[in-house]
Homo-oligomer: A and B are copies of this chain.
């Protein structure tokens, strides 16, 4: 049977569902169908928290009701082919759906490096986004005492902290000099690492993994320096690869990192097909180079852009390149990063200055539950435009880094920050006289003036 729809969205994660919801809201007269290969998608950034906080996967599901309530049809199926000429998608169960517009939101798959010996042993896990896989992994945790996490990016660090909460003996192994080293410069990453270690997670940085040891089951890992760390289980958090097989087979181009090529409206080279989320090409907002950073928040913006441009393009609703706004929480600390780090900016050849301020997140600092609030800005010397920012604070770090995100996206200069009005409150923010974002801008301004 050939089913027909106006807009067909493949993929039910945040990108797919948001493209459909935004599209339906923008073009309510059109018919929308989402095809998902699972009954329920997971909240992707919630996955680390199923271990020590949510205590299982059931509390971490994206509700399907939001879609059905919006008048979007939900279908279960696995995409196997796209017939671009006939504008028909084919699915594993034989179903075919004809579309007028197609949105590919087919996600990504955890990387398991081919060179890594022992990656196929029992109790070696990756962090997939599939409910059943995660359910089984969660259940198997009871048997493990010592766990090694390979890769100290956000997911590796978050999962390690959660497993540590469960009383596991957890070691993160990271080849870079610091954990979270792509999002934070050494100064902030070092401070964050101290907090993670104080909470009981072991951290080994600056050394790679040679192989995973064991005959059937994992017994440990061997580092490049021949040191051995015992382990009952190993978690690989070494990045994700875009799912682009079907798109490629249909003749859509992909870029050098394997992402489906898209323009600023999130259209592929086929004007009827859009791609959003982890599978879609991203360019860095400032360097304009192709970027491999995958974030649910970036995916959501791309999805909104695609949804609004499905029928008729809007030049004021475009995706202008990824700023990669990260945030995370460890204990009652929050950390965030947006745009370029100092290291990345210098490497790209930007002439920059940095501004930094070390303050507090409430005022006066004699109040209970006060956290340090450390903010670093990366600023272009010629224009004063902010290219990046990093935050270490309490829970307000999440929205603080979003402010920095807005500053970067609007190409705000430090003069504009210095003249900005900021609301402050003893229990909610830093003091008006020493608001770290403004003080960091002041520090950068001084360096530009050569004071």
Chain A residues at the B interface, C-beta cutoff of 8 Å: 14, 17-18, 21-22, 25, 28, 43, 45-46, 49, 53-54, 59-62, 66, 295-301, 304-305, 308, 314, 316-320, 322-323, 325-329, 334, 336, 338, 363-364, 366-368, 395-403, 405-407, 409-410, 412-413, 415-416, 418-429, 431-435, 438, 442, 446, 451
The answer to whether A49 touches B419, judged by C-beta atoms less than 8 angstroms apart, is no
* Copies of this protein chain in the complex: 2
- Asked if A319 and B25 make an inter-chain contact with CB atoms under 8 angstroms apart, the answer reads no
Give bound CA distance, A383 to B435, whole Å.
32
Nearest-Cβ distance from residue A304 to partner chain B, whole angstroms: 6
B316 touches A425 (CB 8 A): no
A322 to B, closest residue via Cβ = B421
Shortest CB-to-CB span from A264 to chain B, Å, is 10
**B317 & A433 in contact (Cβ 8 Å cutoff):** no
Question: Given the known A-B contacts A366-B54, A399-B403, A418-B308, are A327 and B423 also in contact in the complex, defined by CB atoms under 8 Å?
Answer: yes
Question: Is the beta-carbon distance between A297 and B423 smaller than 8 angstroms?
Answer: yes
Q: Are B410 and A412 in contact (CB under 8 A)?
A: yes
Enumerate chain B residues within 8 angstroms of A432, measured Cβ to Cβ.
14, 18, 45, 296-297, 299-300
Q: Are A54 and B419 in contact (CB under 8 A)?
A: no
Query: Once the chains bind, are B364 and A421 in contact (CB under 8 Å)?
Result: no
- New contact pairs (13) apart from A301-B421, A327-B428, CB-CB < 8 Å: A43-B426, A43-B431, A45-B363, A297-B424, A316-B419, A319-B419, A328-B428, A395-B428, A398-B423, A398-B425, A405-B422, A406-B407, A410-B412
Q: Which residues of B contact A418 (CB under 8 A)?
A: 304, 308, 317
Known: A363-B46, A410-B412, A416-B316. A405 touches B421 (CB 8 A): yes
Cβ-defined contact, B304 with A438, below 8 A:
yes
For A43, list chain B residues within 8 Å (CB): 363-364, 426, 431
Contacts of A435 in B (CB 8 A): 300
A421 touching B446 by the CB < 8 A rule?
no
Q: In the assembled complex, which residues on chain B have CB atoms less than 8 Å from the CB atom of A402?
A: 399, 403, 422-423, 429
Task: Name the 8 nearest CB pairs between A and B, nearest first.
Answer: A398-B428, A325-B423, A300-B432, A399-B399, A59-B366, A329-B427, A398-B429, A327-B425
Given A299-B432, A319-B419, A368-B53, answer yes or no on A426-B46 (Cβ-Cβ < 8 Å): yes
Task: Judge whether B406 and A420 touch: CB under 8 Å.
Answer: yes
Q: How far is the CB of A57 from chain B (nearest CB, A)?
A: 11
- For this complex, 23 residue pairs linking A to B, each with C-beta atoms less than 8 Å apart, are A22-B442, A25-B451, A43-B426, A45-B424, A46-B426, A49-B367, A54-B364, A61-B364, A66-B433, A297-B421, A297-B422, A300-B424, A305-B419, A314-B415, A316-B415, A334-B425, A334-B427, A338-B423, A395-B395, A398-B429, A399-B403, A401-B423, A410-B412
Partner of A46, one of B329, B364, B405, B420: B364
Contact of A317 among B45, B398, B401, B419 (CB under 8 A): B419
